[in-house]
Amino acid sequence: MVSTLRLLRPSLTGLRAVATPRRYVSSFGYAQAKALIYSDYGQPSDVLKLHAHSISPAYGSDIVVRFLAAPINPADINQIEGVYPPKPEMTIKLGTPTPVAVPGNEGLVEVVAVGADVESFRPGDRAIMKHAAFGTWRTHAVASDENLLKIPEQFRDLGVVSAATVSVNPCTAYRMLKDFVPLERGDWFVQNGGNSGVGRAAIQLSRLWGLKSISIVRNRPEIDELKQELEALGADLVVTERELADRAFRKETKRLTGGKGIKLGLNCVGGKATTEMIHHMAQGGQVVTYGAMAKQPVTLSASSLIFRDMHLHGFWVSRWSDANPEAKRQMVEEILGMIQRGELKDVPVEKTVWTSATKEDELKAAIAKSGQGFGGKKQVFVFEE
């Protein structure tokens, strides 16, 4: 039998071994990893467990990465509940007796080691996830070229949170403002969830592009402070759902837009709040739904369809990204440039530092905070060795 390992003759550099497949063994050896996992769908507090396992050195086309930061998004919670596609793969590769999945769709990693067949990444490179459902709530993972979108070296000085949160909220806002209505400088759009991650990104992008925005938020005790915060980002008008429902405000909408009306509406709420937003839009308006915070359907009257020619669309940035990988790369780099120049600010965040000593309850507490009403800050895991 001929061995797959061939020992070549000595040279000036000593003996050289060639194997098929080849193996790159880094000085890091086996990585001791931890991950939040679940084997059944349900509430995160009930189904998530902290699991320790080992990752072998990179082999062939493997890329071993360590996570630097990973946000907790509403979609991540919905995925654990089993109501959000795509569902991650259940696997026993983490050394569990039954198949499990790792939650988390968004994150920033640093390459620890690469297999000998990998040409596009080297240890020290940084990357974000190219697709959803990779599983980012863990300290280390084995990836491949297909999983990772490299962050150019010129953006290495950006904070880890900025890079880890670039691919969902800012990209969603970017595409919705660009792809549904040919907006020109001075045109208006309206959005609910104005203080959300997407809402804040839309406000700032519209300011850069010369657009005007009406941002709707829920009423709350600190409403004046929130309005001032969003106006400082560039919001032209911030109103509560209650203020929007006042019939007199429809005249104000016409006055603000110079009679042109509002052609684009961005919806992440649903239910009555979205119906009311549509009442303020112009004939032929386009409503783009990208979320459902109220967990209620979007209702549109027959008269709005027939006589006002309203159009409803859905948008899912994960599907768009999968279909347009090169455009996704260009968009991410453009947005990272905006962040680097100070033109686009992060959402307010609260960090939970994840080290080898962090307990399961600490991680679950951060996840629970992410679902609290009027929380005000995005929860982010920040990994430290």
DSSP H helix total and E strand total for the chain: 13, 17
> Once rounded to an integer, what is the mean pLDDT over residues 46-56?
97
> Which residue type, as a one-letter code, is found at position 207?
R
Residues 57/64, Cβ–Cβ less than 8 Å: yes
Strand partners, 149: 128
**Res 385: pLDDT:** 85
> Once rounded to an integer, what is the mean pLDDT over residues 119-146?
97
Residues 142/118, Cβ–Cβ less than 8 Å: no
Distance in angstroms (rounded) separating the CA atoms of residues 266 and 274: 9
Residue 188: other Cβ atoms inside 10 A: 24
> Once rounded to an integer, what is the mean pLDDT over residues 320-349?
97
- For 169-319, the fitting CATH number among 2.30.30.700, 3.40.50.720, 1.10.540.10, 2.30.30.40 is 3.40.50.720
Distance between terminal CA atoms of the chain?
Answer: 45
Is the predicted pLDDT of residue 366 greater than 80, yes or no?
yes
Half-sphere exposure of 251 (CA within 13 A, CB side): 3
* Known catalytic membership, residue 59: no
**Res 7: pLDDT:** 31
**Res 25: pLDDT:** 37
Is the predicted pLDDT of residue 226 greater than 70, yes or no?
yes
pLDDT tier at 14, thresholds 50, 70, 90: very low
> Once rounded to an integer, what is the mean pLDDT over residues 170-199?
97
Please tell me which residue in 30, 38, 84, 174 is annotated as part of the active site: 84
The more confident residue out of 233 and 30 is 233
pLDDT tier at 9, thresholds 50, 70, 90: very low
Q: Where in the chain are the domains?
A: 26-165+346-383, 169-319
> Which residue type, as a one-letter code, is found at position 38?
Y
To the nearest 10 degrees (0 to 180), the angle between helices 360-370 and 74-81 is 110
Distance in angstroms (rounded) separating the CA atoms of residues 210 and 271: 30
| Average model confidence (pLDDT) across the chain | 91
Residues 101/37, Cβ–Cβ less than 8 Å: yes
Beta strands in the chain (DSSP E): 5-7, 17-19, 31-37, 49-55, 63-71, 108-114, 126-129, 140-143, 148-150, 188-191, 212-217, 237-240, 264-267, 286-289, 311-314, 349-354, 378-383
> Once rounded to an integer, what is the mean pLDDT over residues 256-279?
94
Is the predicted pLDDT of residue 266 greater than 60, yes or no?
yes
pLDDT tier at 373, thresholds 50, 70, 90: low
Distance in angstroms (rounded) separating the CA atoms of residues 232 and 225: 11
Percent of the chain scored above 70 by pLDDT?
A: 91
**Res 87: pLDDT:** 86
Distance in angstroms (rounded) separating the CA atoms of residues 380 and 378: 6
Distance in angstroms (rounded) separating the CA atoms of residues 193 and 100: 33
Nearest to 191 by CA among 294, 75, 309, 290: 290
**Res 28: pLDDT:** 47
Strand, helix or coil for residue 71: strand
CATH code for the part of the protein at 26-165+346-383: 3.90.180.10
Percent of the chain scored above 90 by pLDDT?
A: 83
Distance in angstroms (rounded) separating the CA atoms of residues 41 and 44: 8
Tokens 């060795």, residue located: 385
- pLDDT tens-place string over residues 98-131: 999 999 999 999 999 999 999 999 999 999 999 9
Is the predicted pLDDT of residue 5 greater than 50, yes or no?
no
**Res 372: pLDDT:** 75
> Once rounded to an integer, what is the mean pLDDT over residues 45-55?
97
Residues 6+ apart with CB under 8 A from 57: 23, 24, 25, 26, 28, 29, 30, 64, 113
Angle at 345 between CA 323 and CA 265, to 5 degrees: 55
**Res 13: pLDDT:** 35
The more confident residue out of 250 and 344 is 344
